[in-house]
Amino acid sequence: MSSETLWQISMMRIVESKFIKSAVKPDGYPASPYADIAFVGKSNVGKSSLINTLLNRKAIAKVSRTPGKTRLINFFEIHFKTEENKDGFVNFVDLPGYGYAKVSKTERTAWKKMIQNYFEHRMSLKGIIALVDIRHSADPKDIVMLKMLQDEDIPFIVIATKSDKIAKSKLPACLEKLSAGLEVNNKNIYSFSSLKKTGIEDILNWIDNQIL
């Protein structure tokens, strides 16, 4: 079965997506009647690419070879059709990446405050998609982030990105090792590739379940 077919049989079918606005503080967040699903992870892990892939758009979220491109909280509004062909809406939120070495301490503190504010004040936040690079072993920065989500009781899944960079036969072992290292249940981790467009259905189904 081709990845194109997988995307089409997913429970959610994306109809339209649009950029709403960027914000730093809670008073800048868009007032929206819809749930938020946010994407977090280290700089360069592939957050913006994943959002574009899910939405079947080339560049609604800005992708860059230079880490640290996304410095603001970016809100996108998604219109989709459910399995029963009903209209549904959700916001996708592209959060700025962490762990980029070349940022000042001041910037790092500002980032932390921005993320904490978002987690604590965005009442419509229904779930987090936490991205890690499938080629790397568990990073303490990711463990801290996942701990933060657990402390705040925010539902999350871990997505191991860039799976096209490793042999298919090695995927299960990589996921097992990552879930153990990150101390998350191996049922809550999936592999994904923006390049090959694989893993889309798992993510859309999870999102669908969070925003019911």
Ligand X SMILES: Nc1nc2c(ncn2[C@@H]2O[C@H](COP(=O)(O)OP(=O)(O)OP(=O)(O)O)[C@@H](O)[C@H]2O)c(=O)[nH]1
Q: Which of 84, 145, 82, 78 is nearest to 116 (CA)?
A: 145
> Which residues make Cβ contacts (< 8 Å) with residue 74, sequence separation at least 6?
19, 21, 22, 61, 93, 94
Applying CB under 6 A, among 29, 111, 160, 162 the residue interacting with ligand X is: 162
CB-based contact 78:61 (threshold 8 Å): no
Applying CB under 6 A, among 7, 23, 40, 43 the residue interacting with ligand X is: 43
- Distance, CA of 70 to CA of 19 (rounded, Å): 14
Distances (CA, A) of 81 to 59, 85, 87, 92, 103: 22, 5, 5, 16, 41
CB nearer ligand X, residue 2 or residue 85:
2
70 touching ligand X, by CB under 6 A: yes
Q: Which stretch binds ligand X (CB under 6 A): 27-35, 79-87, 136-144, 191-199?
A: 191-199
SS3 45: coil
Place of tokens 């921005």: 114
Please choose which of ligand X, Mg ion, none residue 126 contacts, taking the beta carbon within 5 to 8 angstroms, the exact cut-off set by kind: none
- Distance, CA of 7 to CA of 136 (rounded, Å): 27
CB nearer ligand X, residue 9 or residue 195:
195
- Tell me the two tokens of residue 57: 């758009």
Which DSSP state fits 103?
A: S
CB nearer Mg ion, residue 47 or residue 122:
47
The least CB distance from residue 158 to ligand X, in Å, is 14
The least CB distance from residue 67 to ligand X, in Å, is 5
Residues 43-72 that bind Mg ion (CB under 5 A): 47-48, 70
Please choose which of ligand X, Mg ion, none residue 191 contacts, taking the beta carbon within 5 to 8 angstroms, the exact cut-off set by kind: none
Please choose which of ligand X, Mg ion, none residue 161 contacts, taking the beta carbon within 5 to 8 angstroms, the exact cut-off set by kind: ligand X
Please choose which of ligand X, Mg ion, none residue 165 contacts, taking the beta carbon within 5 to 8 angstroms, the exact cut-off set by kind: ligand X
Which spans of this chain sit near ligand X (rule: CB under 6 A)? 41, 43-49, 63-65, 67-70, 97, 161-162, 164-165, 193-195
